[in-house]
Amino acid sequence: MADRIHYSSCPVCQQADLVAVFNVIDQLVSRESFTIMECRQCGCRLTQGAPDQQASSKYYQSTDYISHSNTSRGLINRIYQQVRKRTLQQKVKWVEKAIGTPGGRVLDVGSGTGAFVEALRKSGWQADGLEPDPSARKVAQADFGIALLDIEQLFQLPSASVDAITLWHVLEHVHDLNGYMQQFHRLLKPGGSLLIALPNYTSWDAQYFGKWWAAYDVPRHLYHFSPEAVRSLSNRNGFSLASVRPMWYDAFYIALLSHQHQQGSSRWLRSFLVGLNSNLKTMKQTDRGSSLVYVMRPN
């Protein structure tokens, strides 16, 4: 189909060494099946047959897509909302630690409904957000009084104008992967930091669930990263990887969703045990985290 992406080489390392891993079903919108491919050179995985940028919007049109709707419908989403209140301040502290001083200008890319931008501003930061989805921007205006910018403004901002750029589970959605990374490099001030949160398909919980792991989230997730693939992406776009830290709550949330996809119910106790075991593995080896935050700095 003309509106589908068919990879013949890896967008991270450019090598034409792709192998099929398994097929994953879109659980949120279409029930279509997509093949996960893996690059045998850098380890990046790809969603073969994902929609191109013009055709992708319909795959986000669900009231259950919480980052765009801010919904509290259903027990899992209510828990997500409560956990988010706690993690927002944690993210603010991560930004402060990455920069080294309190205060400064932060650009949040893929802001969804604007909750993190609001948290930054309340903590004294100068913060702006970019969001491609018009409905999410409307929610940000209605819920927080925040006017998020359209994502195209990323390419209009002045060079060396921000202290930090954040992407919380966003880069896996971006069609122009290397183009965005190069823009981030241009926008950061000397000594600035890029913070990127990504699901980790090499985590213990990802291995446990296999093709049912909810963080594959096809076809909205175009790429599926391992720490090795992120290091390759960082180096190839002029960044050095400064640190990696786990997002502890994600293992529990993803386990709940994964059991829902696999068995039709959330299996609360079993999901808790899977998330706990994944986090215990991560305590011994950070690279096993269900989701990881990568802090990068321009070379």
CB 271 within 8 A of CB 74: no
Q: Compute the mean pLDDT over every residue in the chain, rounded to the nearest whole number.
A: 93
Decide if 187 contacts 161 (C-beta within 8 A): yes
User: What are the helix (H) ranges across 100-176?
Assistant: 115-122, 134-144
- Residue 154, SS3? helix
Provide the total of helices (H) and of strands (E) in the chain, helices listed first: 9, 10
pLDDT single digits (tens) 77-106: 666 666 777 789 899 999 999 998 878 999
Per-residue model confidence (pLDDT) at position 85: 75
Q: Which pair of tokens denotes residue 225?
A: 């990263």
What stretches of the chain show up as alpha helix (H) in DSSP? 66-69, 75-99, 115-122, 134-144, 177-187, 204-209, 227-236, 248-263, 268-284
Bridge-based pairing of strands 18-25 and 162-168 is unpaired
Write out pLDDT tens, residues 6-34.
999 999 999 999 999 999 999 999 999 99
**pLDDT tens string 187-237:** 999 999 999 999 999 999 999 999 999 999 999 999 999 999 999 999 999
pTM: 0.93
Rounded Cα gap, residues 184 and 165, in angstroms: 7
Q: Tell me the per-residue pLDDT of 173-187, one tens digit each, with 9 for 90 and over.
A: 999 999 999 999 999
